[in-house]
Amino acid sequence: MPKYKLEYIWLDGYTPLASLRSKTQIKEFASFPKLEQLPMWGFDGSSTQQAEGKNSDCILKPVAVYPDITRKDGVLVMNEVMMPDGKTPHPSNSRATIPDDPDTWFGFEQEYFFWKDGAPLGFPEGGFPAPQGPYYTGVGFKNVGPIARKLVEEHIDTCLAAGINLEGINAEVAKGQWEFQIFGKGSKNAADQMWVARYILTRLCEPYGVDIEWRCKPVLAPFNQPLDWNGSGMHCNFSTKHMREVGGKAYFDKLMAAFNQYRDEHIAVYGPENHLRLTGLHETQSIDKFNFGLADRGASVRLPHSFVNNGYKGYLEDRRPNSAADPYLVAGRIVKTIQLVPTT
């Protein structure tokens, strides 16, 4: 039987920004392994901020599996972290805290910076490139350079081969800044795909001496100045079966009232340092306010024209989550708020 390289992936216990961890296990299977065939596996939680050295065992519980074309017989295994009994979720296990509804669909728009030698890829040493303008959806060496284009193409191919529903990519507003989009049905499914897509991108960058900077505002300068570079978001498009098939203005108004009521709870899980990004500038609403608007990219929640034209049916875009947010927590908070709104 062939021996498969199982790359177990999980989130560590660092706060406020968890990092991806992984290790490889070699096991024989007659064919590509199914999720139910994959064993739990222990690790040293004392080295990942998830346990003390005197009681260091933590358990990895496989929750999603994907082919890995970067390795012969490679397998990517996304995991939840469990306590030593293998049944109790670890306190750092954000996936285990969220409701899962297969009829709730999510589309994440993940922005990020390629990062090299302490600055965004393409920034001149000790300085800044030309102001923002030509970089968004830019083409040509002066706008995107050679490495970034190669990396995003490798990322597309690897994600698609893994069965991850990556729907597109583009260069973003700042030099060295890019975006990819992931769509999934069900909060856990969509967030699993996002985390594995992040993992794939991060690992692909290793041979090039490039890192991914997930923080939402890594390049700071005084507001309204030429060097005030855009931050990074993870805009979250969402819909439920009721929103897609029934909708209506009355239901929408109740939904937005709930989003306003739980504004602080949403902001709390929408990513660290979001006050640096949600300033009311750069197509954002201020962090202490909530609003919605038709095609308004400066609103907390954007209503597409298709949503309104279709009788307030379809999807909405929450523009507040930032690039470093945990997609499990973002999707979970949105589902929890939606479930508080009666549909009748």
In this prediction, residues 210-229 reach a mean pLDDT of 73
Instruction: Indicate the DSSP class of residue 137.
Output: T
Rounded-to-integer distance, Cα 258 and Cα 237, Å: 17
pLDDT of 279 = 86
Confidence grade of residue 128 (pLDDT, cut at 50, 70, 90): confident
pLDDT of 224 = 45
How far from chain centre, in Å, is Cα 340?
A: 24
End of a domain among 49, 76, 95? 95
CB 262 within 8 A of CB 338: no
Identify whether residues 142 and 86 lie together within a single domain. Answer: no
Confidence grade of residue 99 (pLDDT, cut at 50, 70, 90): confident
Identify whether residues 26 and 160 lie together within a single domain. Answer: no
Task: Classify residue 160: in a domain, yes or no.
Answer: yes
Task: Classify residue 271: in a domain, yes or no.
Answer: yes
Who has greater pLDDT, 1 or 11? 11
Provide the CATH number for the domain around residue 196: 3.30.590.10
Identify whether residues 214 and 80 lie together within a single domain. Answer: no
Rounded-to-integer distance, Cα 159 and Cα 153, Å: 10
Task: Classify residue 100: in a domain, yes or no.
Answer: no
pLDDT of 221 = 52
pLDDT of 227 = 52
Confidence grade of residue 226 (pLDDT, cut at 50, 70, 90): very low
pLDDT of 222 = 47
Identify whether residues 51 and 184 lie together within a single domain. Answer: no
Identify whether residues 45 and 73 lie together within a single domain. Answer: yes
Who has greater pLDDT, 193 or 97? 193
Confidence grade of residue 150 (pLDDT, cut at 50, 70, 90): very high
In this prediction, residues 304-333 reach a mean pLDDT of 97
pLDDT at 151 over 50: yes
End of a domain among 73, 95, 117? 95
Rounded-to-integer distance, Cα 265 and Cα 303, Å: 21
Non-local (6+) Cβ contacts of 335 within 8 A are: 98, 99, 100, 101, 104, 187
Confidence grade of residue 243 (pLDDT, cut at 50, 70, 90): very high
* Residue position matching structure tokens 């006050």: 275
Domain of 263 in residue numbering reads as 105-339
Name the helix (H) or strand (E) containing 194.
Answer: helix 187-204
Identify whether residues 81 and 116 lie together within a single domain. Answer: no
Identify whether residues 180 and 200 lie together within a single domain. Answer: yes
Non-local (6+) Cβ contacts of 91 within 8 A are: 13
Identify whether residues 224 and 124 lie together within a single domain. Answer: yes
| Three-state SS at 290 | coil
Provide the CATH number for the domain around residue 26: 3.10.20.70
Identify whether residues 153 and 77 lie together within a single domain. Answer: no
pLDDT at 54 over 90: no
> How is 74-135 classified by DSSP, letter by letter?
EEEEEEEEE-TTSSSBPTT-SGGGS---TT-EEEEEEEEEEEETTEETTPPTTS--SPSSS-
pLDDT of 220 = 64
Identify whether residues 53 and 169 lie together within a single domain. Answer: no
pLDDT at 225 over 50: no
| Three-state SS at 178 | strand
Task: Classify residue 136: in a domain, yes or no.
Answer: yes
Task: Classify residue 344: in a domain, yes or no.
Answer: no
End of a domain among 95, 127, 144? 95
> How is 250-283 classified by DSSP, letter by letter?
HHHHHHHHHHHHTHHHHHHTS-TTHHHH-BS-SS
Identify whether residues 81 and 164 lie together within a single domain. Answer: no
Total domains, the chain: 2
Identify whether residues 120 and 43 lie together within a single domain. Answer: no
pTM of the model: 0.95
In this prediction, residues 37-50 reach a mean pLDDT of 97
